[in-house]
């Protein structure tokens, strides 16, 4: 009778442990992939501005961005009411080395962000400057947006923003 009671306690104990482990696993998986789309963003921090351009953004003048549910990227200037579509985001394969090469004299913060990059999406505008946008999702769930020019002789990034989702 004593042995039967101990067996029941062990079964209950292991069942509780199993439920806890499965619950933690499911909770961790649900947080591991943050959806980028169907959200509006503001610039939280300006991580990089190309040193050879005279026009710069400040936090209070930087555009807002929106990623629609079908992964179209929109932007609007602070004083505008209407959103302008910049392009359709698609998954983009780029090495960290290739990404670093798009910056001129980046800070350590830029290098740290690039090293934490988990996934990259790209949108092309097909304008006369060959403007492109890169949306970078970092391992810590931060979202960065880079704006650059895909010039044949000198492809480079002009701005890198840390975005904050608007509620």
Q: What is the pLDDT of residues 102-156, one digit of tens each?
A: 999 999 999 999 999 999 999 999 999 999 999 999 999 999 999 999 998 999 9
| Percent of residues in the chain assigned helix, strand, coil, to nearest 5 | 25, 35, 40
Q: Share the mean pLDDT of the chain.
A: 89
Q: Does the pLDDT at position 28 exceed 70?
A: no
Higher-confidence residue: 27 or 159?
159
> Is residue 37 very low, low, confident or very high in pLDDT (cuts 50, 70, 90)?
confident
Q: Which helix (H) or strand (E) holds 28?
A: helix 2-32
pLDDT at 23: 62
Q: Does the pLDDT at position 67 exceed 90?
A: yes
Neighbouring residues of 68: CB distance < 8 A, sequence distance ≥ 6: 37, 38, 74
Q: Look up the pTM and report it.
A: 0.79
Q: Does the pLDDT at position 59 exceed 60?
A: yes
Whether 91 contacts 54, CB under 8 Å? no
Q: What is the mean pLDDT of residues 11-20?
A: 76
Whether 134 contacts 92, CB under 8 Å? yes
Domain boundaries of the chain, sorted by first residue: 1-32, 34-165
> Is residue 18 very low, low, confident or very high in pLDDT (cuts 50, 70, 90)?
low
Total H helices, total E strands in the chain = 3, 9
Tokens 């079964």, residue located: 11
> Is residue 3 very low, low, confident or very high in pLDDT (cuts 50, 70, 90)?
low
CA 145 – CA 119 distance, rounded (Å) = 12
CA 166 – CA 41 distance, rounded (Å) = 5
């Amino acid at each position: 009778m004593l042995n039967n009671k101990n067996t029941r306690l062990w079964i209950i104990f292991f069942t509780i442990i199993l439920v806890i482990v499965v619950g933690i696993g499911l909770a961790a998986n649900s947080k591991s992939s943050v959806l980028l789309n169907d959200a509006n963003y503001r610039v939280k921090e300006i991580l990089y501005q190309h040193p050879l351009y005279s026009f710069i953004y400040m936090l209070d003048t930087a555009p807002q961005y929106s990623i629609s549910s079908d992964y179209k990227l929109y932007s609007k200037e602070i004083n505008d009411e209407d959103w302008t579509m910049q392009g359709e985001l698609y998954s983009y394969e780029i090495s960290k080395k290739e990404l670093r090469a798009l910056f001129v004299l980046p800070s350590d913060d830029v290098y740290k962000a690039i090293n934490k990059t988990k996934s990259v999406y790209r949108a092309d505008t097909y304008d006369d400057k060959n403007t492109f946008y890169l949306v970078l999702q970092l391992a810590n769930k931060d979202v960065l947006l880079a704006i650059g020019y895909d010039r044949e002789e000198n492809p480079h990034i002009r701005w890198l923003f840390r975005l904050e989702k608007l509620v």
